[in-house]
Structure 1
């Protein structure tokens, strides 16, 4: 799937938004990809996950289980599990830190693909990778639908994204006038 085809899926779903958005990282941006909208169509989610699984190349054969962070990574994590033919589970933040819950458990040494919807700073990904390690898993790679980091994110494992989107981000105290003139919306799932 080409970058234009991937972005076409987002556009068709009304998931490529323009305005003033506060990202999970706390940074502000004039564009936002609402992955929940693009993933709400199961056939579209399957196409995107299949394309992302193909981009993993040789890493595909090294994965025993997929783990994703809740909330944003749950659907793409499930679809990646299906595309790879392995179980999928997710970590949650019941107390502010990611943990496996709901009876999920990793076998010691299980080789894990950590999957996110969007990576900007990598904070959620790093927290999820830490939780996976604490649960006995070994993260062999990370993947996301979208890399918004400008290629700057370093997760400590091989990282594959279906599409890289170079959208500027700004600190709250350094907004351009065009962005500060618009009301800010926080569409993500992280409360803090």
Structure 2
């Protein structure tokens, strides 16, 4: 499955000047909502991701995603894995579990995002899961920005910026390795361009 081609066909690979959730700037942005608005495509992507996880023999009893971006990807993945789905969300800036959702003691939980950049939101979600007695067994995403090392993949960039627990596998359908810049040293800013954030936070 050519994940980059799927994003291009959905007009979900944006070019411009963007502010990422990590705080960095980039000339590219992945808008997963444009891909996942098509239920057939969402199912096919989740099915391919579920196959990778099942082939690894890792046991998963629940999928948990950080809102908002991970909800559609996480729900479809849970459906393909045949397990329940829950999500965490921010309240006053802090990730929390609400809406009557519970974590069962020692429940094996996979944390799913649409895109993994540094993995910061996924780690916040994982900490909530483990604080409530669950056991995080892996991370998953439709696509990986290449900062974190993908399971059984050699392509990776600066892993020192990855916030995920390196002892756990990260499953994704492919890597998108784009240039990123510190906000204080962004060549696009120096050209007079202003970064925008088209994602679920800040817009």
Given the two structures, how large is their TM-score scaled by the length of structure 2? 0.87
Of 100, 103, 124, which aligns to 1:103? 100
2:43 to 38, 43, 46: 46
Q: List, as ranges, runs of 4+ consecutive aligned residues in structure 1 with deviation greater than 6 Å.
A: none
Structure 1 counterpart of 2:164: 155
Alignment of 1:108-187 (within 5 A): 108-150=105-147, 151=156, 152=159, 153=162, 155-156=164-165, 157-177=168-188, 180-187=191-198
Q: CA deviation at 1:120?
A: 1.2
Give the direction of change, closer, same or farther, for the CA distance of 1:26–1:178 in structure 2 (3 Å limit): closer
Moved more, 181-190 or 90-99: 181-190
- Seen in structure 2, the aligned counterparts of structure 1 residues 183 and 132 have a Cα distance that, compared at 3 Å, is same
Per-residue CA shift, 1:2-39, capped at 9, x if unaligned? xxx21121111110100000011110000011011111
Where 1:164 maps in the other structure, the secondary structure is coil
Aligned-partner SS, 1:93: strand
- Report if the CA contact (8 A) 1:15-1:37 is conserved: yes
Segments of 5+ residues of structure 1 without an aligned counterpart are none
Aligned partners of 1:67 and 1:40: how far apart in 2?
Answer: 20
Instruction: Return the alpha-carbon distance in structure 2 between the equivalents of residues 180 and 146 of structure 1.
Output: 30
Does structure 1 conserve the Cα–Cα contact (< 8 Å) formed by 2:120 and 2:163?
A: no
Q: For residues 98-143 of structure 1, what are the alpha-carbon distances to aligned partners after superposition, in whole Å with 9 as ceiling and x for unaligned?
A: 1111111111111001001111111111111101111221100001
Maintained 8 Å contact 1:111/1:138: yes
Aligned length: 189
Q: Retained in 2: the 8 A contact 1:30–1:179?
A: no
Q: How does 1:1-150 map to 2 (within 5 A)?
A: 1=1, 5-59=2-56, 62-150=59-147
How far apart, CA to CA, are the structure 2 residues paired with 1:76 and 1:24?
Answer: 18
Q: CA deviation at 1:60?
A: 5.4
Q: 1:19 to 1:179 in 2, by over 3 A?
A: farther
SS at match of 1:77: helix
Distance apart, 1:146 and its partner CA: 1.4
Alignment RMSD, CA only? 1.8
**SS in structure 2 of the partner of residue 82 of structure 1:** helix
C-alpha displacement at 1:90, in angstroms?
0.4
CA distance in 2, matches of 1:132, 1:62: 16
| Post-superposition CA distance 1:166-186 (Å, at most 9, x none) | 101101111125874433211
